[in-house]
Amino acid sequence: AQSVTQLDSHVSVSEGTPVLLRCNYSSSYSPSLFWYVQHPNKGLQLLLKYTSAATLVKGINGFEAEFKKSETSFHLTKPSAHMSDAAEYFCVVSGNARQLTFGSGTQLTVLP
Amino acid sequence: DADVTQTPRNRITKTGKRIMLECSQTKGHDRMYWYRQDPGLGLRLIYYSFDVKDINKGEISDGYSVSRQAQAKFSLSLESAIPNQTALYFCATSYRDSRNEQFFGPGTRLTVL
């Protein structure tokens, strides 16, 4: 069994300040973890993925995430938010190589 | 051209009608998936297919059926549409050995009146 909990449904930050989107997971297997972004009226784009290599994963657009097995977390961070980062973000787990399980999403608002 | 395409992009239909949503991919992937997205629920898996002869039910398959006509085509049907099937539907594809990284189409917005 596997599940994902995104701890915040909405996050608001000011432009130029750090972003933290929190994700906890559970999996009976050694998991792969992903963050996807969905801009309004668009499909989903992969930001980054963890697949049992380095625990600090760098993605596109300055985002990164750290896999912490002891905390079962995979939080997404960015040092400085940009207006174009406003979107919905999904944390995703795959533990059995057959299916993905999506979190419920975090809506990021970036204030000018 | 987009690697994963979905048709139609928007559809409004009435309760009881049969609807087919189509997905095509040019990525050469073996695996294809259908999801629906509802506000506050993330994406939920409807059906998935690991090759033309391997089709599996996902989390919420009731009321839906699929057809994998070829490696590149995977269609989702609603035999008798009902209003609670109003949602955004996504098709996705992946390589067999990519640790399940999936590539998504642009989505189909379906409204059932």
Write out pLDDT tens, residues A41-86. 788 999 999 987 788 999 999 999 999 999 999 999 999 999 999 9
A8: nearest CA in chain B? B40
User: Is pLDDT of B1 > 60?
Assistant: no
Nearest-CA distance from A72 to chain B in Å?
Answer: 19
Of B45, B39, B40, the closest CA to residue B86 belongs to B39
- In terms of Cβ atoms closer than 10 Å to its own Cβ (0-12, 13-18, 19+), residue A103 is buried
- B18 Cβ contact list (under 8 Å, min separation 6): B77, B78, B79, B80, B81
What pLDDT does A97 receive? 58
Best mean pLDDT range from A3-17, A42-56, A83-97, B88-102: A3-17
Q: How many CB pairs under 8 A join A and B?
A: 51
Structural contact between residues B77 and B66, judged by C-beta atoms closer than 8 angstroms: yes
Residue of higher predicted confidence among B74 and A52: B74
Cα–Cα dist A59/A77, whole Å: 10
What pLDDT does A53 receive? 76
Nearest-CA distance from A28 to chain B in Å?
Answer: 16
Rounded to an integer, the average pLDDT of B60-70 is 95
Mean of the per-residue pLDDT values of chain B: 92
Write out pLDDT tens, residues B11-45. 999 999 999 999 999 989 999 999 999 988 889 99
* Backbone φ and ψ of A60, nearest 5°: -80, 160
What pLDDT does B71 receive? 94
Cα–Cα dist A65/A23, whole Å: 10
CB-based contact B42 A44, cutoff 8 Å: no
Residue A107, helix vs strand vs coil: strand
**Which residues of chain A lie closer than 8 angstroms to B4, CB-CB?**
43
Least CB-CB distance to B42: which of A34, A42, A105? A105
As given in the structure block, the two tokens for residue B95 are 């390589």
Mean of the per-residue pLDDT values of chain A: 92
Cα–Cα dist B64/B76, whole Å: 7
Nearest-CA distance from B55 to chain A in Å?
Answer: 12
What pLDDT does B98 receive? 59
Structural contact between residues B77 and B18, judged by C-beta atoms closer than 8 angstroms: yes
DSSP A79: S
Structural contact between residues A13 and B63, judged by C-beta atoms closer than 8 angstroms: no
What pLDDT does A64 receive? 97
Structural contact between residues B108 and B21, judged by C-beta atoms closer than 8 angstroms: yes
CB-based contact A43 B104, cutoff 8 Å: yes
What pLDDT does B101 receive? 84
User: Is pLDDT of B97 > 70?
Assistant: no
